[in-house]
Amino acid sequence: MSLSPSHGDRLAAAKLWLISTAAQPGPDPPRDLPYLARALYALVPVPTSEVPRITCDEHWRVYINTDWIETAPIPAIGAELAHLTWHLLHDHAARARDLRVDATTAAHWRTASDAAIEHTLRADTLSPDGLPTADDVGLPAGLSAEEYYAVLSGLPAAIGDNRHGRLTEPGCGSGCDGLTRSHELPPGLDRPGADLAHIGRDDARQIRRLVAIAYREHITTRGTKPGDAWRWTQDILEPTIAWQPLLGSAVRRAVAWTNGNTQYTYTRRSRRQSAVPNVLLPGTRRPVPNVALVIDTSGSVDDHLLGRALGEVDGALRGLGVTGSSVTVLACDTAVQSVTRVRNARDTTLAGGGGTDMAAGITAAAALRPRADVIVVFTDGHTPWPHQAPPGQAVIAAILGRPEHTLPPSPDWAKRIECRL
């Protein structure tokens, strides 16, 4: 079932009211929000009598009460559309699942997510009637839904009907909290006469990115950055990736690669010896990789961040079974100041404090005996580098710095991990 032409016209009018520029002043002029156009026109309308006004699911379908849309003023329809669209843009359903929101806490999450987007809606005079505000939560405006939820979730929770993973109370729909309602359609169900059954995850991701680009341009021209919406824009367009798992993963991959190298030895009998009893076949052994840690001890390196990075490498090596006797630490400023074998990299005593020349440290690490299979360099990046990689050795460059710093380049032959704190 689809909306009647008259209902479709009222829905289209509400979308135009949201994105159009006001031709002349009036009591309810258009809101001039063109950045929402991509998201608004991606919504898939579904008529229903099971919701009081309008809700959405996380597949970008909006469930519209036909009696309500027939009588509601166009600005009221537009405000509800903007409200639900921001839930979808913020991906509140997925964020609710990350927090394990269920029927007992769904009401708190809806209040929290509504309070987070109300700050953005209020800036454009678009808050629907009854939408919770930051004042209702008792916190400042402009915080994230998670921050509001942390306060609300400590309150007694209202018990809802969560049979079969569904709620009977419509609220804003599963597009807000990820909990399916009884009136919502399954993800892949085609409706007769509909061009599109739902918006898939990849399409939704692209819509969010395009809206974020348009929103940033819009806000820049207006000179304001409303709270959670601005943070959402930054997260979409400039995501912050945790460096700790990247550094640990790089070490594990490098060590695993060297672990694949086997050596032939006559001290161990070959498993195939029984096939040729008159010929002595060498067996194979897999040596434990040797790891060299070259640590920049110049005065510009942040000791706290260095300790965090060393801890990540320690954890990765322990997980791979690399013993302390196989780890060598080289403390280096303009020259190598000390070379020690350690059981835990964080326990080493570092010497130095002058200038920086990691080329000297890498050269010394490459010359170690027994030979280092993996070299991990910890530095702020303000250093000369060797012109080429040590032959047959994997090099990881852990570049240490603060979020506001522009970190220097490193050579292409080294696996670069930016560690910011």
Q: Which of 196, 221, 237 is the last residue of a domain?
A: 237
pLDDT at site 366:
94
275's enclosing H/E stretch is: none
State the residue for tokens 């990689």.
Answer: 389
- Let me know whether 411 and 262 are in one domain: yes
- The whole-angstrom separation of Cα 407 and Cα 398 is 11
- The whole-angstrom separation of Cα 307 and Cα 69 is 60
- The whole-angstrom separation of Cα 359 and Cα 184 is 62
- Let me know whether 87 and 227 are in one domain: yes
How many residues does this entry show for the chain? 421
Q: Which of 237, 259, 276 is the last residue of a domain?
A: 237
pLDDT at site 194:
47
- Let me know whether 21 and 122 are in one domain: yes
- Let me know whether 156 and 255 are in one domain: no
Extract the tokens encoding 14. Answer: 């509400």
**Can you give the CATH number for the domain in which 413 is found?**
3.40.50
DSSP state of 292: E
pLDDT at site 54:
96
- Indicate the burial class of 177 (C-beta count within 10 angstroms; 0-12, 13-18, 19 or more): buried
What is the pTM (predicted TM-score) of this model? 0.60
Domain count, the chain: 2
Domain, as residue range, for 145: 5-237
- Let me know whether 196 and 288 are in one domain: no
- Let me know whether 138 and 247 are in one domain: no
- The whole-angstrom separation of Cα 83 and Cα 172 is 9
Question: Which residues in the chain come in under a pLDDT of 70?
Answer: 1, 23-25, 155-168, 188-196, 220-226, 238-241, 256-268, 283-288, 319-325, 343-354, 404, 421
Candidates 158, 344, 317; CA nearest to 248 is 317
- Let me know whether 384 and 274 are in one domain: yes
- Indicate the burial class of 241 (C-beta count within 10 angstroms; 0-12, 13-18, 19 or more): exposed
pLDDT at site 222:
61
pLDDT at site 202:
84
pLDDT at site 386:
93
SS3 content of the chain, % helix, strand, coil (to 5): 40, 15, 45
The answer to whether 376 and 291 have CB atoms below 8 angstroms apart is yes
Extract the tokens encoding 34. Answer: 């063109």
- The whole-angstrom separation of Cα 46 and Cα 21 is 28
| Distance, first Cα to last Cα, the chain | 53
- Let me know whether 157 and 254 are in one domain: no
Q: Which of 199, 222, 237 is the last residue of a domain?
A: 237
- Let me know whether 302 and 227 are in one domain: no
- Let me know whether 168 and 127 are in one domain: yes
pLDDT at site 401:
84
- Let me know whether 267 and 227 are in one domain: no
3-state DSSP of 106-173: HHHHHHHHHHHHHHHHHHCCCCCCCCCCHHHHCCCCCCCHHHHHHHHCCCCCCCCCCHHHEECCCCCC
- Let me know whether 343 and 257 are in one domain: yes
